Amino acid sequence: MFNLAWARGLLQWAYALAARYLSANRCPSFSIRLFSPMTLRFLVVEGNVRESREGFRAAYGRTPSESYADVLQHLARDAICDIAFPADEGANLPDPAGLESYDGVVLTGSGLNVYDGGPAIERQIELMRAVYKSKTPAFGSCWGIQIGAVAAGGQVTKNVRGREINIARNIAPTEAGLNHPLLAGRARAYDAPCSHIDHVTGLPGDVTVLASNSISAVQAAEIRHDGGVFWGVQYHPEFDLRTMAIILRRYGDGLIREGFFKDAHDRDRYADDMDLLHEDPHRADVAWRMGIGADILDPIVRRTELTNFITHRVRPTQSARGRA
């Protein structure tokens, strides 16, 4: 019988042996990434097509998946992250067996709309179905929870209440959410970074809604499908305030037309204030003017769901699979 833990140990030994050989023979052009038995391995699934993620790189310096990987490696210093691009034609994607070699799978946001269909979206849905089948712990932000829902038989539609942008206000845990480990440490009402106009409206067959607000009934959920468990949120715990400012500017005049801002000056001032708080979260005058508290300003609080995912899903599953 194939023993995954034994195979992983053998691979680590081979990597270490190769690294010693390369070092002894001075081969700097060949890079090899080592991991210890305690290393967490994440697959970050980028939801955007190439054009969108390169636009984000031009504005921010990093693609959404690269930024997400940075956050995961900050929260888990022993983590290494691979990135998959299922929206790209010809992308090399892992099957369920390959997914089992990861300790966690994380889905980013996206500028796509699930109901538009097409190969770039279908590949992501199929990959999520493979994630469920692999039983690897999975988490998704925004687009991520939408893909997690659709892959399990749910439905996503455009929100008739309109766009939820920058900050999702007054998110409240449901009765189930109050005692769920995903939301451990969250208050009975909290704010979170966000940017979406679509949301989950048709629930999959086996789902527990964990949080909602006046804009979206499904702000957080646990979805169980084909033996796997997915935790997702409609907001973006991985975002920092600078990312939020960049997104506001990238939407341009669209947010003015939708009534969020009076004019470009109003929008730019708001984005500038976000930048100020990114640089100095102790600017109480700016935070008060914007109605922003520790939910947004404190990165420990802002990333609560990611920390809980790693603590309560990823590390225990790693141990259960014999990889710790």
Give the pLDDT score at 238: 98
Q: Residue 31: count other Cβ atoms within 10 Å of its Cβ.
A: 8
Instruction: Round to whole Å and give the CA distance between 321 and 307.
Output: 20
Average pLDDT over residues 250-260: 92
In DSSP terms, 193 is beta-bridged to 167
For 130-182, the pLDDT digits (tens) are: 999 999 999 999 999 999 999 999 999 999 999 999 999 999 999 999 999 99
pLDDT class for 252, splitting at 50, 70, 90?
Answer: confident
pLDDT class for 265, splitting at 50, 70, 90?
Answer: very high
Instruction: Assign a CATH topology to domain 40-238+305-320.
Output: Rossmann fold (3.40.50)
Structure tokens at 42: 């994440």
Give the pLDDT score at 20: 38
129, containing H or E segment: helix 119-134
In the predicted structure, residue 87 carries a pLDDT above the cut 60:
yes
Mean pLDDT (the chain, rounded): 89
| More confident position, 185 or 4 | 185
Instruction: Return the domain boundaries, the chain.
Output: 1-34, 40-238+305-320, 241-296
In the predicted structure, residue 33 carries a pLDDT above the cut 60:
no
pLDDT class for 306, splitting at 50, 70, 90?
Answer: very high
pLDDT class for 120, splitting at 50, 70, 90?
Answer: very high
Length of the chain, please? 324
In the predicted structure, residue 85 carries a pLDDT above the cut 70:
yes
Report which listed range, 42-46, 252-256, 315-319, is most confident. 42-46
For 199-217, the pLDDT digits (tens) are: 999 999 999 999 999 999 9
| Coil, helix or strand at residue 42 | strand
Torsion of CA 272, 112, 301, 172, to 10 degrees: 110
Give the pLDDT score at 60: 87
* Burial grade of 250 (CB within 10 A; 0-12, 13-18, 19 or more): middle
Average pLDDT over residues 272-282: 97
pLDDT class for 323, splitting at 50, 70, 90?
Answer: low
In the predicted structure, residue 21 carries a pLDDT above the cut 80:
no
Are residues 163 and 113 in contact, defined by beta-carbon separation less than 8 angstroms? no
DSSP 262-304: SSHHHHHHHHHHHHHHHH-TT-HHHHHHHT--HHHH-HHHHTH
Give the pLDDT score at 246: 93
Give the pLDDT score at 324: 57
Average pLDDT over residues 102-108: 98
Average pLDDT over residues 10-14: 44
Average pLDDT over residues 72-100: 94
